[in-house]
């Protein structure tokens, strides 16, 4: 990821946007600390796509209404106490 200072990002905005589209996310810093990231619209949409929550995922899973568990009648091994 490329790092841009705020002043440089302001003066070269077109280049910043083009780099975000071709090279990936671009970080903008102010006084040496990271403050913003410029993403391509494709990267942004991939991050903001609606994902199902766990409750919906579990409720929409395969139905197991006729699920039957067969238990073994084996009592296990004999032990001496």
Q: Which CATH number characterizes residue 6's domain?
A: 3.40.1620.10
Residues of the chain with confidence (pLDDT) below 50: none
Report H helices in the chain.
Answer: 6-11, 13-22, 41-48, 54-59
The answer to whether position 66 is within a domain reads no
Predicted TM-score of the model (pTM): 0.61
Q: Which domain holds residue 40?
A: 2-59
Site of tokens 């391509």: 40
The answer to whether position 80 is within a domain reads no
pLDDT at site 66: 77
pLDDT at site 77: 84
pLDDT at site 55: 87
Q: What are phi and psi of 51, to 5 degrees?
A: -110, 145
């Amino acid at each position: 990821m490329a790092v841009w200072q705020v002043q440089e990002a302001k003066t070269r905005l077109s280049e910043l946007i083009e780099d975000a589209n071709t090279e990936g996310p671009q970080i903008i810093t102010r006084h040496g600390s990271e403050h913003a990231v410029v993403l391509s619209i494709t990267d942004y949409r991939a991050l903001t796509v609606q994902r199902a929550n766990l409750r919906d995922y579990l409720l929409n899973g395969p139905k197991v209404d006729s699920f039957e568990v067969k238990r073994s009648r084996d009592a296990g091994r004999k032990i001496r106490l």
